[in-house]
A and B are shown apart, each in its own frame.
Chain A
Amino acid sequence: MSLDHSSDSALPIKISGLTKKYGDMYALDAVDLDIKSGEFLTLLGPSGSGKTTLLMAIAGFNRPDAGSIRFADQEMILYPPHRREVGMVFQSYALFPHMTVAENIAFPLKLRKVSVEECALRVEEALQTVQLDGLGARNIDQLSGGQRQRVALARAFVFRPRILLMDEPLSALDKKLRERMQIELKQLHRQLGVTTVYVTHDQREALTMSDRIAVINHGKLVQVDTPEAIYNAPANAFVADFIGESTLLPLSLGGGDQLYFGDQSIATVQAAVSAQGGTENNQGWSLVVRPERLLVLDKNSSSSQPLINGFAFDGIVFGGTIRESVFQGESAFLIVALASGADSSGVDVAVRFSTGKAANIESLANGQQIELGLHREDVIVIPQEAD
């Protein structure tokens, strides 16, 4: 069973200057976004960030105040939704309750005057693709949440749209099923090859599924990049905080070009500026500390050289006091109050480590002194935000 996999099965989307105002608030503020043909792009942002507004504008359900939405070379901004030929999976699934599963999936085909025989064939094919073979005659209220989700998906791609939109399609499912569907959606995307725009507020979901992530906040795109790049080189504090866990440690400018945390030299301003694509800033800089990138160093008894598992460690070392230790099964984390630095006193950082290692959480009691290490290549420095 193979679905249409031809090269024309996807369209690029070019959005420019898209603006939508609700009262005094910009839901979309001159958004420019190029979505490549066949790409899986996720719009990620907190609620009210404008991500759904942007998706609805692509689908044609809301009327922007200004801007352009092009599918390939075709300007779509004035097209009504029923002429845009994009598939969409709704958060509520929006399955027609008075139709069976097969009738739901056949609905877009019948509108396109597909012959009865081909219609039946394609419905069956779509059902197989979403692993619901044989459930075509069921009523919608006889399906579980996961099955409804699959029907909604089948209905969205059965008419072979060249763009597929999904509005938080997995948010109503429980955690296990959600994680399984994330992988299945990713596989389905590869199989269909269709340009996919996915909306979620779940950063983990975005990291799992996307070719690229567009982080959106207050109606503006903050950063558009691959999951790895966004995680490893967040553009600002919002992205660093929203994607993954992180603690921001404010740095002070020391002698020459050096940025310091306490008495530790962290990075040079020049390196920080070049990591930000050459943008200078005069608000100061912060160190982004990811919990899993911090290492618990061996308790030093005699030598002055820090050690990790008995080997010398030549990265950055932070001293601190354990405030809390939490066991969570596959991993454990510590909350450590950092001691170093006058203006940074009282900063808590989280440290996450795998419990499989020799690391014995029971030996890490509250109130104990501890040394944490950070490899120099894990240093992420971002500009501080103006308050």
Chain B
Amino acid sequence: MAASAGSRLKHADALKRQNRLEQWTLLGLAAPALVVIVLVVLIPVGWLFYLSFLGGDGQFSLENYQKMLKYKSYARTFMTTFQVSILTTLICILIGYPLAYFLAQLPNRIAGLFMLTVLLPFWTSLLVRTYAWLVLLQRKGILNDFAIQIGLWDSPVKLVHNMTGTLIGMAHIMLPFLVLPLYNAMKKIDRDLMQAASNLGATPTRAFWQIYFPLSMPGMVAGSLIVFVLCLGFYVTPAVLGGGRVIMVATQITAILENQYDWGAASALGVVLLVATILVLILASRLFKLDSALFGKG
């Protein structure tokens, strides 16, 4: 039975209006966040972008970028930055994966308790944690004293003001960023799957590598990317624990601003770092279907 044309149009406009109103209301909820992002992210970044293309004479020029190609120190800085970021991410995976696996096997309440030990340092100030590592690792620090006392080594080993110290400090600070998404992904793996694998004849080792590990990959990719990207722009820890020997991009930007007050050169460095970060994210999203890793299975 077909409805008459008239009854099909009944209230049609009013209903459409209601629909539109709902959509605008939703957009309204996002408005404060959008305003903040425009004011404190887009405008300053745009401003830096503009500055990076200004020469010393205030005219448009590429000299800031040409400088980067000319001086080896810039290339070295970028090398160091990627090296530290990759190594920190790898260390986090090596420590974080077994930790997250352990947590995921525990009953929820006990896992929560252990999770506190992961999160507690997360809630203390970054600066405090970094200086705490300095105290632990320095020449006459607790670790060296202890190691010499039990005869692990004879004279103080240089654990800080170098790459080693930087990596130890950064891995510690970054660990929760890896463990949390990884734990989350592992929690979602149905326990029946491991039982099924073993029922079908897989030894525990095979079941892990063929079932559990691939299914935990989204969490690992998400966590690794967060760690890697955060590392790229890290400042405090390499500055303090690197002792001037580990110069990352952020450190160099500060140095340029403090020593030469050269906003153009500093901006150019920032722009290159931003572009590199975006490229890494695009590459990763191509490789790992990132949207499912970061936002869960849609």
Task: List A residues at the B interface (Cβ < 8 Å).
Answer: 59-61, 80-82, 84-88, 90-92, 94-98, 107-108, 111-112, 155, 159
For A87, list chain B residues within 8 Å (CB).
199-200
Q: Are B214 and A98 in contact (CB under 8 A)?
A: yes
| Bound: A97/B217 CA distance, A | 13
| Bound: A35/B262 CA distance, A | 85
Task: List B residues at the A interface (Cβ < 8 Å).
Answer: 190, 192-193, 195-204, 206-207, 210-211, 214-215
For A88, list chain B residues within 8 Å (CB).
196, 199
For A95, list chain B residues within 8 Å (CB).
196
Q: Are A94 and B195 in contact (CB under 8 A)?
A: yes
| Bound: A107/B190 CA distance, A | 17
Q: Are B215 and A111 in contact (CB under 8 A)?
A: no
The interface residues of chain A, by DSSP majority, are classed as loop
For A98, list chain B residues within 8 Å (CB).
214-215
**Given contacts A96-B211, A97-B215, A98-B214, A90 and B198 within 8 Å (CB-CB):** no
Name the one of B190, B192, B198 contacting A81, with C-beta atoms under 8 angstroms.
Answer: B198
| Bound: A60/B202 CA distance, A | 13
| Bound: A112/B200 CA distance, A | 10
| Bound: A95/B207 CA distance, A | 13
Name the one of B192, B200, B207, B210 contacting A155, with C-beta atoms under 8 angstroms.
Answer: B200
The interface residues of chain B, by DSSP majority, are classed as helix
9 A-B interface contacts by CB (under 8 A): A81-B198, A82-B201, A86-B199, A90-B195, A94-B190, A94-B195, A96-B196, A98-B214, A111-B206
Chain A's closest residue to B215 (CB) is A98
For A159, list chain B residues within 8 Å (CB).
200-201
Name the one of B196, B201, B210 contacting A94, with C-beta atoms under 8 angstroms.
Answer: B196
For A59, list chain B residues within 8 Å (CB).
195, 199
Chain B's closest residue to A107 (CB) is B200
Instruction: Kindly provide the distance from the CB of A22 to the nearest chain B CB, expressed in whole angstroms.
Output: 15
Q: Are A96 and B195 in contact (CB under 8 A)?
A: no
For B193, list chain A residues within 8 Å (CB).
94, 96
For B197, list chain A residues within 8 Å (CB).
96, 107
**Given contacts A97-B215, A98-B214, A98-B215, A85 and B201 within 8 Å (CB-CB):** yes
Instruction: Kindly provide the distance from the CB of A357 to the nearest chain B CB, expressed in whole angstroms.
Output: 38
| Bound: A94/B192 CA distance, A | 6
**Given contacts A92-B190, A96-B193, A81 and B199 within 8 Å (CB-CB):** yes
Q: Are B201 and A111 in contact (CB under 8 A)?
A: yes
Chain B's closest residue to A90 (CB) is B192
For A86, list chain B residues within 8 Å (CB).
199
Chain B's closest residue to A61 (CB) is B195
